[in-house]
Amino acid sequence: MADATPPSGTGPLGKREARLAWGLLLPTIAAVALVVVLPLLAIFWISVKPVALADLRAPEPVLREDLRGGPEVAGDQAQIRYRLRNSSQEQPILAVSFRDVVPEGLLVQSVDARCVLEGRDLSCDLGDWEPGHRETLSIPVVVEQAYFDNDVAPQDSAASITGQSSNVLTNSDFTLDNFARIFSGDEFFEVLWVTLFYTVFGTIGALVVGLFAALLLNKSFRGQGILRGLYLFPYVAPVIAVAFAWLILFDPFSGSVNALLVQMGVSPQAINFFGERPLALIMVTVFEIWRYFPLSFLFILARMQSIDSDMFEAADMDGASPFQQFWYLSVPQLLGILSVLFLLRFIWTFNKFDDIFLLTGGNAGTRTLTVNVYEQAFAVSNIGAGAAVAVVIFGCLLTFSIFFLKYISQEEGL
């Protein structure tokens, strides 16, 4: 008898389990592929295309039909009129054709040479249209009693019209102008510097403030729960609401902060907090810290509360002072969560768009890379350049992620 060996490879049960797992994951994978991966690929494609905002509306043939001649009784003459035009003033449409159904009770007398009438089905082959092409097609008819009985007008059956137009998104025009454009000039380096300042100080600030808040609440007293809930408000409230509240609070003409500063004699005249060059960038960074310190606070507090208190009692017995306990006991325990938070917050701050967009719209020296995507694509109406900035962002993120994945595998938590 052969030696009994443990089975190797994947057995049928294992295979079934794996199949089930993939089955359960399939919807998620499909959705993510559709909404995340596909757009990412599209971004690369668009970034090498000369696309402007106006190009998004592909040229299309437009058709309107009505019955002219005002027939009143059976036997009257009338015309079915088709008004046709090319919606684009710049691009031709090729091989335009349409089909329509002539309503019952309209007897067609003759048709245009380009059209064919079979029974009541009318089909016309109109050939190629120049940019801005317009024409009117009239078909004379005699009206019969059935038309009045049915009460079906020609426009009640919609004509279907088709034509081929070249779309800049799908044709084979490629260009590197988008990249040349965004990298040219000092502007790009200013954007990069602003992004870096915002990201680094926003991240570190939120961590430090969050750590301070966590130290405050890391003891149990009455009202601790309420304070903890309160300190999370900035994170939970809709960004648009708090951004506008800040704008109104710091308004140079009627903001309370300016009134307060003038009254207290700190500043002789009102300060335009979100409109002056170095100040605006500092203010959006402060807003970022304000809005996201609750998140770091929550994670740091959770970690603190899981530290064993015996250690602190022992240290206390040995005569360690409060600051020593913090520095030699708490900080090393918190280092893991702090570094993970730093990495995550760094990437998310780098990606942040809404806050700056709402506060300054990227003016007064606060244009970060993400705001630049919007600026290029929608303010300058150059979708291609916007996509090129997005590609640059994606490149940066890829670098971060490689670093992140290498690092996070060594860290507990998250």
Partner 1 sequence: MNLLRQGYVTGPALGALWLVVLSVTVSVAMSFATGEAFRPSIVLSLAWGAVAGAGMVAFGRTRVVQLAVLAVMIAVIAVGIGPMETGADTGAVAGLIGAVVLGTAFAASLAPFLKDVVSGPLGRHEFEAAIIRFLTGFGYIFFTAIVLIPFYVMVMTSLKNQSELIQNPLDFSIDFSKGAELFRSYNELFSDFNFGTYLFNSFVISVTTVFITLAFAIPGAYAVARLRFRGQAAFSRSILLIYMVPMIVLALPIYIAFSMTGLRNSFVGIVMIYPVTTIPVALYMLQGYFRGLPSEVEEAGLMDGLSRLAVIWKITLPLSLPALASVSLYVFMIAWNEFLLAFMLLDDPSRFTLTRGIAALNSSEIPRQHLMAGSVVATVPIMALFLGLEKFMTKGLTAGSVKG
Q: How far apart are alpha carbons 81 and 155 in whole angstroms?
A: 10
169 binds partner 1 (CB under 8 A): yes
For the bound state, the minimum distance from the C-beta of residue 40 to partner 1, rounded and expressed in Å, comes to 7
Site for partner 1 in 50-109 (CB under 8 A): 56-58
35 binds partner 1 (CB under 8 A): yes
For the chain, the residue count is 414
Q: How far apart are alpha carbons 367 and 374 in whole angstroms?
A: 10
For the bound state, the minimum distance from the C-beta of residue 390 to partner 1, rounded and expressed in Å, comes to 4
255 binds partner 1 (CB under 8 A): yes
Among 11, 21, 54, 128, binds partner 1 (CB under 8 A): 21
Among 60, 112, 177, 354, binds partner 1 (CB under 8 A): 354
Q: Of 60-68, 74-82, 176-184, 228-236, which segment contacts partner 1 by CB under 8 A?
A: 228-236
For the bound state, the minimum distance from the C-beta of residue 220 to partner 1, rounded and expressed in Å, comes to 14
399 binds partner 1 (CB under 8 A): no
Is 173 in contact with 49 (CB distance < 8 Å)?
Answer: yes
For the bound state, the minimum distance from the C-beta of residue 129 to partner 1, rounded and expressed in Å, comes to 21
154 binds partner 1 (CB under 8 A): no
Is 84 in contact with 126 (CB distance < 8 Å)?
Answer: yes
Among 241, 311, 331, 335, binds partner 1 (CB under 8 A): 241
Q: Which is nearer to partner 1, 186 or 323 (CB)?
A: 323
Is 341 in contact with 402 (CB distance < 8 Å)?
Answer: no
321 binds partner 1 (CB under 8 A): yes
Q: Which is nearer to partner 1, 22 or 148 (CB)?
A: 22
Transcribe 37-88 into DSSP letters.
Answer: IHHHHHHHHHHTS---GGGGS---EEEEEEEES---STT-EEEEEEEEEES-
181 binds partner 1 (CB under 8 A): no
Q: Of 87-95, 120-128, 154-162, 385-393, which segment contacts partner 1 by CB under 8 A?
A: 385-393
Question: Residues 279-308 vs partner 1: string with x where CB under 8 A?
Answer: -----------x-x--x--xx--x------
Q: Are strands 115-118 and 77-86 parallel, antiparallel or unpaired?
A: unpaired
Please give the order of strands across the beta sheet that includes 93-101: 115-118, 121-129, 93-101, 160-164
Longest alpha-carbon distance in the chain: 114
Which residue, 181, 80, 175, 182, is CA-closest to 136?
A: 80
For the bound state, the minimum distance from the C-beta of residue 71 to partner 1, rounded and expressed in Å, comes to 36
Is 325 in contact with 312 (CB distance < 8 Å)?
Answer: yes
